[in-house]
């Protein structure tokens, strides 16, 4: 199993979609990305993989330390247990993370096949990474005062493939923060435990994926469903809950037409859509991948 974290933000990130998805993004005054429920994405182990990484990290810290007392060990294990409880609760509630997916892979065959309607009709939108990174969605606060306040915003972050044990590991950093609480003899009650899991741990679970997906080179924006109105759309296998994430107009850098038939007709249609919506300076190009329908 490999452990990989792409920490350097590329200049552009890309979002592959079909014709319906393209209209959903561009047929507005500003681009709108649909952040889908993490449990409805293509990886069947979404969230579960991250939750397992939490428990592995906690067990590793406990095994490596000879200074933890029974109380510290109890609360660390309780955090792992509470994460499992919250993960099961996402099946029947609106507390789960929603994610908007991007990739640094430009005009990639695997992306066209998986997400862009490779049979003909796919599109790839190029976004300015720095502008995407400036988009923040505030989390609501319960007003609890913790020595280490939970993260109140979500940002653009790379996906980690293969679990724990690498540099810049968000889960490892969170566990270290919790250990700092214990070092300061802070009394943690059940309400604190719930809030720590809700605000610190749940938002990072979608950042961990099975290494089988490593070639996707994925980056994600994670938002909390309770902050936005949850909507629903038809998917290929199920109805999918999602939340809309509005981006600045200048985040869009270009649109690429996917490989397949009717390239000129599809190019003209996209160009017309962009002009009608005021994206006069956004270029339209075609995939360089040779493929005939």
Q: Is residue 54 part of a domain?
A: yes
Tell me the average pLDDT across 144-166: 56
- Residue keyed to tokens 């070639």: 215
The residue segments making up the domain with residue 77 are 4-286
**pTM of the shown model:** 0.80
Is the pLDDT at 293 greater than 70, yes or no? no
Are 168 and 7 in contact, with CB atoms under 8 Å apart? Answer: yes
Q: Is residue 267 part of a domain?
A: yes
Round to whole Å and give the CA distance between 169 and 148: 18
pLDDT of 89 reads 66
Tell me the average pLDDT across 152-174: 67
Q: Is residue 248 part of a domain?
A: yes
Is the pLDDT at 174 greater than 80, yes or no? no
pLDDT digits (tens, 9 = 90+) for 86-130: 777 655 455 567 889 999 999 998 898 888 765 567 999 999 999
Q: Is residue 172 part of a domain?
A: yes
Band of residue 269 on the pLDDT scale cut at 50, 70, 90: very high
| Range among 1-15, 29-43, 108-122, 187-201 rated most confident | 29-43
Tell me the average pLDDT across 223-228: 60
Is the pLDDT at 6 greater than 80, yes or no? no
Q: Is residue 291 part of a domain?
A: no
- The half-sphere exposure of 200 on its side-chain side, counting CA atoms within 13 A, is 24
Is the pLDDT at 226 greater than 60, yes or no? no
Q: How many domains does the structure of the chain reveal?
A: 1
> What are all long-range contacts of 274-277, with beta carbons under 8 Å and residues at least 24 apart?
274/26, 277/26, 277/27, 277/28, 277/29
pLDDT of 278 reads 93
pLDDT of 169 reads 67
The two most distant CA atoms of the chain are separated, in Å, by 69
pLDDT of 43 reads 67
Are 227 and 96 in contact, with CB atoms under 8 Å apart? Answer: no
In this predicted structure, which of 28-42, 142-156, 227-241, 277-291 has the lowest mean pLDDT? 142-156
pLDDT of 143 reads 37
Is the pLDDT at 273 greater than 70, yes or no? yes
Q: What percent of the chain has pLDDT over 90?
A: 26
Q: Is residue 293 part of a domain?
A: no
Are 225 and 98 in contact, with CB atoms under 8 Å apart? Answer: yes
pLDDT of 44 reads 63
Q: Is residue 75 part of a domain?
A: yes
Helix/strand/coil (H, E, C) string of the chain?
Answer: CCCEECCCCCCEEEEEECHHHHHHHHCCCCCEEEEEEHHHCCCCCCCHHHHHHHHHHHHHHHHHCCCCCHHHHHHHHHHHHHHHHHHHHCCCCCCCEEEEEEECCCCCHHHHHHHCCCCCCCEEEEEEHHHHHHCCEECCCCCCCCCCCCCCEECEEECEECCCCCCCCHHHHHHHHHHHHHHCCCCCCHHHHHHHHHHHHHHHHHHEECHHHHHHCEEEEEEEHHHCCCEEEECCCCEEEEEEEECCHHHEEEEEECCCCCHHHHHHHHHHHHHHCCCCCCCEEECCCCCCC
Q: Is residue 271 part of a domain?
A: yes
Quick one: which of 218, 183, 188, 205 has its CA closest to 55? 205
210 vs 183: which has the higher pLDDT: 210
In this predicted structure, which of 17-31, 179-193, 253-267 has the lowest mean pLDDT? 179-193
Is the pLDDT at 280 greater than 90, yes or no? yes
Alpha carbon separation from 270 to 20, 109, 143, 286 (Å, rounded): 12, 21, 47, 11
Band of residue 144 on the pLDDT scale cut at 50, 70, 90: very low
């Amino acid at each position: 199993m490999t452990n990989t974290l792409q920490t350097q933000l590329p200049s552009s990130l890309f979002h592959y979609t079909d014709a319906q998805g393209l209209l959903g993004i561009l047929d507005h005054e500003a681009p709108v990305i649909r952040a889908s429920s993490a449990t409805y994405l293509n990886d069947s182990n979404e969230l579960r993989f991250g939750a397992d990484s939490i428990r592995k990290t906690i067990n590793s810290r406990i095994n490596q330390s000879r200074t933890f007392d029974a109380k510290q060990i109890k609360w660390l294990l309780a955090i792992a247990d509470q994460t499992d409880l919250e993960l099961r609760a996402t099946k029947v509630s609106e507390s789960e993370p929603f994610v908007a997916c991007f990739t640094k892979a430009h005009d990639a065959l695997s992306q066209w096949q998986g997400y862009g309607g490779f049979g003909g009709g796919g599109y790839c939108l190029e976004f300015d990474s720095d502008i995407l990174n400036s988009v923040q969605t505030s989390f609501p606060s319960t007003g609890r005062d913790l020595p280490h306040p939970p993260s109140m915003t979500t940002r653009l972050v790379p996906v980690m493939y293969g679990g724990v044990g690498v540099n810049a590991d968000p889960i490892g950093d969170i566990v270290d923060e919790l250990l700092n609480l214990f070092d300061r003899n802070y009394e943690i009650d059940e309400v604190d435990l719930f809030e720590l899991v809700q605000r610190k741990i749940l938002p990072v679970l979608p950042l961990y994926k099975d290494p089988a997906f490593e070639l996707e080179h994925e980056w994600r924006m994670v938002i909390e469903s309770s902050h936005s109105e949850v909507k629903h759309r038809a998917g290929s296998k199920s109805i999918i809950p999602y939340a809309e994430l509005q981006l600045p107009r200048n985040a869009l850098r270009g649109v690429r037409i996917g490989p397949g038939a009717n390239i000129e007709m599809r190019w003209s249609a996209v160009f017309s859509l962009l002009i009608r919506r005021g994206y006069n300076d956004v270029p339209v190009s075609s995939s360089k991948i040779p493929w005939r329908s």
